[in-house]
Amino acid sequence: MPGHFEIDDSFISEQNQKSKDWVEEDFAALAKKLRRQQVDIEDLVGKAGGFRAAIPSWGVGTGGTRFARFPGEGEPRDIYEKLEDCGTICKLVRSTPAVSLHIPWDQPDDAARLREFARERGLHFDAMNSNTFQDQPGQAHSYKFGSLTHPDPAVRAQAIEHNVECIAIGRTLGSQAHTVWIGDGGNFPGQQHFRRALERYLESMREIYAALPDDWRMFIEHKFYEPAFYSTVINDWGTSYYCARELGPRAFCLVDLGHHAPNVNIEMIVARLIQFGKLAGFHFNDSKYGDDDLDAGSIKPFQLFLIFNELVDAELSQAPNFMPAYMLDQSHNVTDPIESLMMSAAELVRAYVQAHLVDRAALTEAQERCDPLMALHILKQAFTTDVAPILAVARERAGGAIDPIRVYRESAYRKRKGEERPAQKGAAASGIV
């Protein structure tokens, strides 16, 4: 897209000059403090610099609720503009070079061209996402009463075919994973035969699994309610785990943080899936009540830290089959999606670095000595350490912004996009997520 406004590297480094003093001072002070704990700050900068999470293609557009959607200025109008925004996010934070594509919301007209367009912006494609929870124009059969588990085999066949097509598109894009989330379930007791629905799910998924290229993984995403309000077919991690096992070694369980009942111990679910070699990865977001899709770390940062504590524990102990795919899955209804995604990406790195600060030898000792207070104290010590200077330095060394939100605002990117992307009259959002 020639002539489209971009934030250039020299602007970022100019802006970084303004923050240099405090960063250097705070970094030196933190290095000193960490030395007392026998921690080399450079190791943590390395960890921060190596962390990667994917941006969902649907996340850069303004989201909405079932009540309303309030479109923002200069929203991306197609997948190319969405990739422009993803490129901008990555330029500033440097930890998000992958995009997770949703089909058909962001169905490419020419997948090879899109891959090249992404590559030119330092981006590539992570897991594909299918959609059999909505009807598309011209579709032969409706998903009103389900897709992969629908009683009518013709509906199931259509949903299977859609998933197979997603894999084919993903192949051209260079993706290596396919995520299946279905809205199938029941709104009323008795509506659906629980066991029969799950049998049908497995039957359908076996066909999709058979279409996976050898070097691909399949991610099963569970969710306990919504859009079905009484029961869902893949309701929890136990059902997801059972299905992943039934399907085969390349099927894994994806954890979306918003897809559990309130107060569920998600970090423990994560540990279980790691132990069973079936953790696919995450859709990160945060919630107060349900599948709120709020920004990662905004409501329960300690929970996010505890999840990363399990992940880092698995990383350090080289747990088998441990290759988690990290993605954000949020709905930005009242913020600029680019700002939310940058902040959320930073929250993930923060939790990851803090989890690396846990004194694991001391924690094991406390656990073995049955000393709960000391165990909690060790975790809290890591969680309360302000690692912001580490994140800032890691970003800066990678060419990103010390303060991504400030640099983004200074650049007037959004205003420029508002001029470049006049709102299309009557254009609908790709979906309410």
**Minimal distance, residue 51 CB to Mn ion, in Å:** 20
**Minimal distance, residue 133 CB to ligand RM4, in Å:** 7
Candidate list 75, 286, 291, 396; residue touching ligand RM4; CB under 6 A: 291
**Minimal distance, residue 373 CB to ligand RM4, in Å:** 37
Task: Compute CA distances 293 → 27, 219, 231, 340, whole Å.
Answer: 33, 19, 20, 11
Site map (CB under 6 A) of ligand RM4, residues 328-367, x = contact: -x--------------------------------------
The footprint of Mn ion on residues 266-285 (CB under 5 A) is 283
329 binds Mn ion (CB under 5 A): yes
Other residues' Cβ atoms within 10 Å of the Cβ of residue 200: 20
Other residues' Cβ atoms within 10 Å of the Cβ of residue 363: 19
CB nearer to Mn ion: pick between 58 and 305: 58
CA dist 400 and 89 (Å) reads 10
Q: How many residues does the chain have?
A: 433
CB nearer to ligand RM4: pick between 72 and 281: 281
129 binds ligand RM4 (CB under 6 A): yes
**Minimal distance, residue 56 CB to ligand RM4, in Å:** 7
Candidate list 181, 219, 308, 413; residue touching ligand RM4; CB under 6 A: 181
Q: How many residues bind ligand RM4 (CB under 6 A)?
A: 9
SS3 231: strand
Site map (CB under 6 A) of ligand RM4, residues 8-27, x = contact: --------------------
**Minimal distance, residue 347 CB to Mn ion, in Å:** 17
Query: 397-402 long-range contacts, Cβ below 8 Å, gap at least 24?
Result: 397/45, 397/49, 398/49, 398/94, 399/9, 399/12, 399/13, 399/91, 399/94, 400/12, 400/91, 400/92, 400/93, 400/94, 401/12, 401/15, 401/16, 401/92, 401/93, 402/15, 402/16, 402/19, 402/20, 402/23
CA dist 35 and 29 (Å) reads 10
Contact criterion met (CB below 8 Å) for 348 and 281: no
Kindly report whether the peptide bond that precedes residue 227 is cis, defined as omega within 30 degrees of 0: yes
The footprint of ligand RM4 on residues 227-256 (CB under 6 A) is 256
Which range in 33-41, 74-82, 90-98, 327-335 contacts Mn ion by CB under 5 A?
327-335
SS3 429: coil
Which residues here bind ligand RM4, judged by CB under 6 A?
129, 181, 221, 223, 256, 283, 291, 329, 433
Which residues here bind Mn ion, judged by CB under 5 A?
256, 258, 283, 291, 329
